[in-house]
Amino acid sequence: MSLNSIRPWRNIYRRKSRKIYVGNVPVGGDSPISVQTMTNTLTHDVSATVNQINSCADAGADMVRVSCPDIASTKAMHEIVKESQVPLIADIHFHYKRAIEAAEAGAACLRINPGNIGSSERIKEVIKAAKDHGCSIRIGVNGGSLEKQLLDKYGEPCPDAMIESGLNHIRILEENDFQNYKISVKASDVFMSAAAYQGLAEATDAPIHLGITEAGGLTSGTIKSAIGLGNLLWMGIGDTLRVSLSADPVEEVKVGFEILKSLGLRHRGVNIISCPSCARQGFDVIKTVSELEKKLEHIKTPMSLSIIGCVVNGPGEALMTDVGFTGGGAGSGMVYWAGKQDHKIENEKMVDHIVKLVEKRSKEIDQEK
């Protein structure tokens, strides 16, 4: 029985959207909310780009976007697609030929706005290439690059202008009998993004790609994204997301997952419950948690681990986790297994011991599935 069915206050109503596919990854409908990121290597540097894509995939990315600004990039995509562990989205800005080349190279999705391609013949060529090669399209409206006529009409970037822009691009695809698309309306301003996404969610049943664009550095961007995306996800809006940080793309993936995990929308890896520590701590909580986070990165099985400094909160938290450790006195603490006190272990040996226990428990959980 899932937690949601016995604890209704955990339920999040999810907007009903159409389901599309990016390669083999479903997006929309009742599919898991997918996490994506974008490479920042030079795309024509195949080995650097493949390495970064696959590091992101190892961190949990369901798909990765790759810039294709020139022919060298779309040529490189042939090789990159073959070596990538996940479907790739080719990021095209204006040039319709790059879109066609990327589709031919095996991109699973094109990030391109049909209204920016140019003539209707060019639009038709791109849509034909997408259809021929099974590519989806992501319409990406950005508050910072709205069409001039919309800026003239609305006076400044605003949610209504972003929604109108998105619906205009949708209309072009629909007029060309193309429904295999998703859409984003990103802005760097959390309020503008949230209002645009809410309006968009009412205006279309297309799958929605969430993002707060140019959110900032690791800490500030994480918080901004957690507030903006968290608020939308809590309202049931969003089928896939990218957290945009001025940081390693792997960090974007980790943050994306943490947002989804916090809302119970995805489960992956070890959820560490740890206290902030204080003078009562029986061991160095902060150092221990930092070590455990690194040493448990390889665990993909959803499970929980409590690392609590003392008995004030330790036994209570351990009751609800797969594995737990609570600091005691005299250089040792209590290990909990499946919520029950199990044995003592010295603080010095605790990290490696807990890693082994988590590995053991993750295997058991996998076998129980």
Site of interaction with ligand SF4 (CB under 6 A):
275-278, 280-281, 308-310, 312-313
User: Shortest gap between Cβ of 311 and ligand SF4 (angstroms)?
Assistant: 7
Closest CB to ligand SF4 among residues 42, 272: 272
Show the tokens assigned to 362: 């993750």
Closest CB to ligand SF4 among residues 240, 306: 306
- Confirm if 308 and 347 have CB atoms less than 8 A apart: no
Strands of 176-322 (E only): list them: 181-186, 209-210, 240-242, 270-274, 303-308
Instruction: Decide: residue 109, CB within 10 A, 0-12 exposed, 13-18 middle, 19+ buried.
Output: buried
User: Shortest gap between Cβ of 339 and ligand SF4 (angstroms)?
Assistant: 17
User: Shortest gap between Cβ of 276 and ligand SF4 (angstroms)?
Assistant: 5
Closest CB to ligand SF4 among residues 43, 304: 304
Q: How far apart are CA 228 and CA 292, in angstroms?
A: 29
- Confirm if 299 and 267 have CB atoms less than 8 A apart: no
User: Shortest gap between Cβ of 334 and ligand SF4 (angstroms)?
Assistant: 13
Q: How far apart are CA 53 and CA 85, in angstroms?
A: 8
Q: How far apart are CA 48 and CA 39, in angstroms?
A: 10
Closest CB to ligand SF4 among residues 221, 282: 282
User: Shortest gap between Cβ of 348 and ligand SF4 (angstroms)?
Assistant: 18
3-state secondary structure of 195: helix
Q: How far apart are CA 146 and CA 187, in angstroms?
A: 11
Closest CB to ligand SF4 among residues 42, 312: 312
Closest CB to ligand SF4 among residues 171, 280: 280
When CB distances to ligand SF4 are compared, the closest residue is 309
Q: How far apart are CA 330 and CA 65, in angstroms?
A: 52
Q: How far apart are CA 274 and CA 314, in angstroms?
A: 9
User: Shortest gap between Cβ of 352 and ligand SF4 (angstroms)?
Assistant: 22
Closest CB to ligand SF4 among residues 231, 313: 313
User: Shortest gap between Cβ of 69 and ligand SF4 (angstroms)?
Assistant: 50
User: Shortest gap between Cβ of 309 and ligand SF4 (angstroms)?
Assistant: 3
Closest CB to ligand SF4 among residues 58, 291: 291
Instruction: Decide: residue 282, CB within 10 A, 0-12 exposed, 13-18 middle, 19+ buried.
Output: buried
Q: How far apart are CA 118 and CA 234, in angstroms?
A: 38
